[in-house]
Amino acid sequence: MDAEEYRKKIEQDILKILEEKLKRGEMDAERAQAIARMVLDKLHPPLTLEQIYAIAPTLDDEFSELSRAVLPIMNAHDEEIKSTVLQHVEKLIGSGKLDEAYKALKEETRSKG
Amino acid sequence: MAEVTEVSTPEMPKIEIRHAAAEKPIGQQESAMAGIAARQGDPDKTLGLLAGEKEKMPLDVPLKVDISPEGRQKVDQLRDKNRVGKDQYGESLVSQYHKGKNTTSEHEEAQALAYKDLQKKIEAGVVDPSVIGTEMCLKLGVNPDLERVPETYDGITERVTQELQAFRETRSLTEEEFETIRGEIVEFSSLYGKAYGTENITKAYEVTRDNARKLLYQHIIDKTVFVGSDHGLRHIVNGDIRFAKQMMSSLREKGVVVSAKDEVIMHQAIIDHDLGYTAGAALAPMGFQATTDHPLIGGRFIEDNRQYYVDKFGENGYQAIHGAVLNHSYPRLEFQSDGTDGVHEGLIRGAISTVDSLGVTVETKTPEFFWKKDAMRTLLKIRLAQETMGGKVPEELMGRYKQELIGVAGQEQNPDRRSGYENAINNFFNEFTVNNVLGQYTGVVRKVEVEEVEGAGDEGGQEGHDAHGHEGEHKKFRVMVEMTPTEVYALLGNMFGDKLAARSFVKTVKDLGLDHSRLEEHGRAVRGARSRGEAKEALEVVSDKARVVFGSEFLEDQAPEKISDILDAKKIQAISEVFHEVEILSIRTNINELLDQITERGTAVLPEIQAQFEQFISAKTTANELRELNELFINLSDSSPTGEKAADGSDITVSKAARKSLKGFITQREKEFLGV
């Protein structure tokens, strides 16, 4: 999925949440309008994947209803980073650079907090 | 009644929202939901609408048409037989991918792969479905721009009819054809208004106008090729749309909710389903491989015009049309809906593929050209020559028959249509065309309905619709088809074998899971019963997918007013007369009956059969011919080997050789008829 497809996918996920909430009466039109405005402002194209990953965690800052759409993005991002680091570490171990591998793993663990 | 609005997006499943618009004024919340529902497909636009931005979408999204010099050049290239001809096009993708596939699911999977591979042919420059809109506008000489949009919804059909009228005046259309298209656009426009509202006149006008053009264009193009069956108005409107309407009524009677959107989308998909036949590669001489790929080409045309279809029918409407066109050759007999008034893709796919598979009989499939008595006489000459000359008509003789057909084409008053016929005869006509056309005379389809059968109807993924549950949702249906056989069918079976007579119906019968051998026998049984003054019962063949009832009375025996809703009684009578002429002069029927009797009763009764045979054919043969035939009869009981081997390695016996010689025996009267 390229960045633009991904951006639209997030918008669609958010729209789905809005529809459900509106349908169940758990959200009023004003809040839906505010969310739509915020999403359009923040996810304004063009965006790179890195930019999307940076913006995504802020989408539910004011609107907690959106955490259901934000969490999968964060998880996917984490998985991607983990996989990249592991590949890198494996490569380092394979070429005998154990110290560097240890350093990279430590860095990754620290960044996870 | 609660109003249901649908939202769908390309990657997301359909969302449906019920709101009581008719019961109370729409409040802010409903308005927000309606805002989401109003824009389908593009989430940016939906969010924009929700956020209160002004609508920035253009009023209409037109079909892709490029009549610039570059666009015209592209069309010329894609019509150039040296660029897109049969050698350049290569093997059909459908043929490649569907080998060995039997079930509908297998066919759908194969079709998806073939569809993907169409891209390679597009990149190779042998086909480009995106130019069909341009080809259509150039061929018809119409302006692709939206001009003179009517001011009222009711004015749409009037405006579209005005454009059609011009084609009527130049005789590109007969009065009957003009009325057929007009009738369809009146109905389409009304259905579109019911399904999508009458507020957006521009949009409704555009889609109705384009449909009139598509019908006209396909009809005109169809007259320039003979692929063995009609792909013009006869097939699209008089066949598929007529059957689909019958089927929709029947489904509704059985409690299935066929929504207004379903109904108009079915019309749209049927109008579009054979557009692939108009591609240049399919029109190139002997472009049969490309014609086989027509559902792929048609599907890609829809995809290339995705925005147009989404604009007119919503994302889910687009998906339904695309799927129905792409898979229309593979019947999926599932007709359930979830009871809402949204779009039911499976129901649409099921109904269209079913009715298209039934469009194989004379009233819906036989090209107009072959309704002429002289043309039919020539077809019978070719068939007789095939029968008596080892299957293939000698080139010189075929050339003479083609000249006869050119003579028939010369009677056509419209010069474009006349030259189209000439092109079709010179470049497309062969023994295959003859056998296909003759095979369409099985009968006519009188009625297509559904009936409930035992078992849950949830194969199509209908589970879990509690919120919208309704009467017809979990029922399982099979198709019920009522057919009337033609006498022509029986005569054809008598003269050239039942397999030829029922040829076009075999695929349908197989698709419906029925036993076609019984169908092959039925026509002859009806004819035999009639000649003996006995009543013959109707034949009913049944499977879990379908029940087909073949009437006990030939179409030709029915009162003209009883068949006028289906075809012109005079035309079928005229065709029947030609068949009678040939049967009277030819000994084919007598030889076939003789050989059938020997197969059934053995050679011990040969003297008895031979006596009967002589009595029947004495008026058709000379004394010498009778003597020669008698010698062959005697050999029918001789099972000693001739010393020659058949292709399968078995011995050719004297009896087998005599059978073959009898099949190929040609009398003086037959030679005169053939002109040899």
Residue A23: closest C-alpha in chain B: B17
Query: Between chains, do A32 and B11 touch, taking CB under 8 Å as contact?
Result: no
> For B29, which of A9, A14, A28 is closest by C-beta distance?
A28
**Residues B221-270: tens digit of each pLDDT:** 998 877 667 899 999 999 999 999 999 999 999 999 999 999 999 999 99
Residue B28: closest C-alpha in chain A: A29
- H or E element: which one contains B481? strand B476-485
Chain B interface, Cβ < 8 Å to A? 7, 9, 11-12, 15, 17, 28-29, 31-33, 36, 42-44, 46-48, 50-52
d(CA B173, CA A20): 53
B137 with B144: CB under 8 angstroms? Answer: yes
Tokens at B652, concatenated: 């050719």
Lowest mean pLDDT among B241-250, B293-302, B652-661: B652-661
Higher pLDDT, B253 or B19: B253
Q: What is the pLDDT of residue B58?
A: 45
Query: Between chains, do A40 and B43 touch, taking CB under 8 Å as contact?
Result: no
Q: How far does B133 lie from chain A, in Å, by closest CA?
A: 29
**Residues B183-236: tens digit of each pLDDT:** 999 999 999 999 999 999 999 999 999 999 999 999 999 988 776 678 999 999
Query: Between chains, do B17 and A19 touch, taking CB under 8 Å as contact?
Result: yes
B278 with B221: CB under 8 angstroms? Answer: yes
Which residues of chain A make contact with B48, given a CB cutoff of 8 A?
A: 36, 40
Cis check: omega of the bond before B295, within 30 degrees of 0: no
Beta-bridge partners for B549: B482, B540
d(CA B431, CA B437): 10
Beta-bridge partners for B81: none
> For B47, which of A9, A36, A45 is closest by C-beta distance?
A36
Question: Sheet harboring B546-550: ordered strands across?
Answer: B443-453, B476-485, B546-550, B539-542
- H or E element: which one contains B168? helix B155-169
Q: How far does B32 lie from chain A, in Å, by closest CA?
A: 6
Among residues B257, B243, B254, the alpha carbon closest in space to that of B477 is found at B254
Which residues of chain B make contact with A26, given a CB cutoff of 8 A?
A: none
Which residues of chain B make contact with A40, given a CB cutoff of 8 A?
A: 44, 47-48, 51
Q: B624-629: long-range contacts (C-beta < 8 A, 24 or more apart)?
A: B625/B665, B625/B667, B625/B668, B628/B665, B629/B662, B629/B665
Radius of gyration over alpha carbons of chain B, in Å?
A: 28
Residue A1 pLDDT grade (very low, low, confident, very high; cuts 50, 70, 90): low
Which residues of chain B make contact with A15, given a CB cutoff of 8 A?
A: 7, 9, 36, 43, 46-47
d(CA B140, CA B514): 43
Identity at B271, one-letter amino acid code: I
- The 3-class secondary structure across B522-582, one letter per residue, is HHHHHHHHHHCCCCCCCEEEECCCEEEEECCCCHHHCCHHHHCCCCCHHHHHHHHHHHHHH
**Residues A76-113: tens digit of each pLDDT:** 777 877 788 788 888 888 888 888 888 877 776 665 54
Tokens at B66, concatenated: 């490029």
C-alpha separations of B22 from A99, B18, B470 in Å: 72, 11, 21
Query: Between chains, do A23 and B36 touch, taking CB under 8 Å as contact?
Result: no
Q: How far does A112 lie from chain B, in Å, by closest CA?
A: 32
Query: Between chains, do A15 and B36 touch, taking CB under 8 Å as contact?
Result: yes
Query: Between chains, do A22 and B31 touch, taking CB under 8 Å as contact?
Result: no
Tokens at B210, concatenated: 């384009």
Which residues of chain A make contact with B47, given a CB cutoff of 8 A?
A: 11, 14-15, 36, 39-40
Q: What is the pLDDT of residue B666?
A: 93
> For B51, which of A14, A25, A40 is closest by C-beta distance?
A40
Which residues of chain A make contact with B9, given a CB cutoff of 8 A?
A: 12, 15
Q: Give the best-scoring range by mean pLDDT among A87-101, B16-30, B59-73, B484-498.
A: B59-73
> For A22, which of B11, B32, B47 is closest by C-beta distance?
B32
Within 10 A of B648 (CB to CB), how many other CB atoms are there? 5
- The 3-class secondary structure across chain A, one letter per residue, is CCHHHHHHHHHHHHHHHHHHHHHHCCCCHHHHHHHHHHHHHHCCCCCCHHHHHHHHHHCCCCCHHHHHHHHHHHHHHHHHHHHHHHHHHHHHHHCCCHHHHHHHHHHHHHHHC
Which residues of chain B make contact with A22, given a CB cutoff of 8 A?
A: 17, 29, 32-33, 36
Q: Does A8 touch chain B (CB under 8 A)?
A: yes
Q: What is the pLDDT of residue B467?
A: 39
| Structure-token match 């010179």, residue found | B426
Query: Between chains, do B50 and A36 touch, taking CB under 8 Å as contact?
Result: yes
First to last CA, chain A: 29
Higher pLDDT, A27 or B64: B64
Q: Coil, helix or strand for B440?
A: helix
Q: What is the pLDDT of residue B123?
A: 96
Q: What is the pLDDT of residue B13?
A: 31
Q: Which of A2, A18, A31 is the best mutation test for B, with the most CBs of B within 10 A? A: A18
Tokens at A34, concatenated: 């505010």
C-alpha of B615 from chain center: 43
Which residues of chain A make contact with B29, given a CB cutoff of 8 A?
A: 22, 25, 28-29
Residue B25 pLDDT grade (very low, low, confident, very high; cuts 50, 70, 90): very low
Q: What is the pLDDT of residue B61?
A: 85
> For B43, which of A8, A22, A30 is closest by C-beta distance?
A8
Q: What is the pLDDT of residue B598?
A: 81
Residues contacting B370, CB < 8 A, separation 6+: B376, B379, B437
Residue B355 pLDDT grade (very low, low, confident, very high; cuts 50, 70, 90): very high
Q: How far does B33 lie from chain A, in Å, by closest CA?
A: 7
d(CA B151, CA B160): 13
Beta-sheet pairing, B641-645 with B3-7: unpaired
Beta-sheet pairing, B476-485 with B443-453: antiparallel
Tokens at B466, concatenated: 């509690």
Higher pLDDT, B510 or B29: B510
Q: Give the best-scoring range by mean pLDDT among B25-29, B304-308, B414-418, B589-593.
A: B304-308
CB pairs under 8 A between A and B: 60
B443-476 CB burial, b ≥16 within 10 A, e <16:
bbbbebbbeeeeeebbebebeebeebeeebbebb
B332 with B104: CB under 8 angstroms? Answer: yes
Query: Between chains, do B47 and A40 touch, taking CB under 8 Å as contact?
Result: yes
Q: How far does B117 lie from chain A, in Å, by closest CA?
A: 21
Q: Which DSSP string do the residues of B309-360 spell out, in sequence order?
A: HHHHHHHHHHHHHHHHHHTTTS--------SSSS--HHHHHHHHHHHHHHTT
> For B7, which of A11, A19, A33 is closest by C-beta distance?
A19
Residue B42: closest C-alpha in chain A: A8
B153 with B74: CB under 8 angstroms? Answer: no
Radius of gyration over alpha carbons of chain A, in Å?
A: 18
Q: What is the pLDDT of residue B110?
A: 97
Tokens at B83, concatenated: 């660029």
> For B15, which of A16, A33, A39 is closest by C-beta distance?
A16
| A 23-42 residues with CB < 8 A to B | 23, 25, 28-30, 32-33, 36-37, 39-40
Residue B3 pLDDT grade (very low, low, confident, very high; cuts 50, 70, 90): very low
Q: Does A66 touch chain B (CB under 8 A)?
A: no
d(CA B354, CA B365): 15
Whether the pLDDT of residue B281 is over 90: the answer is: yes
Sign of CA dihedral B412, B415, B417, B422: positive
**Residues A42-83: tens digit of each pLDDT:** 888 777 888 888 898 899 988 998 988 888 888 877 787 778
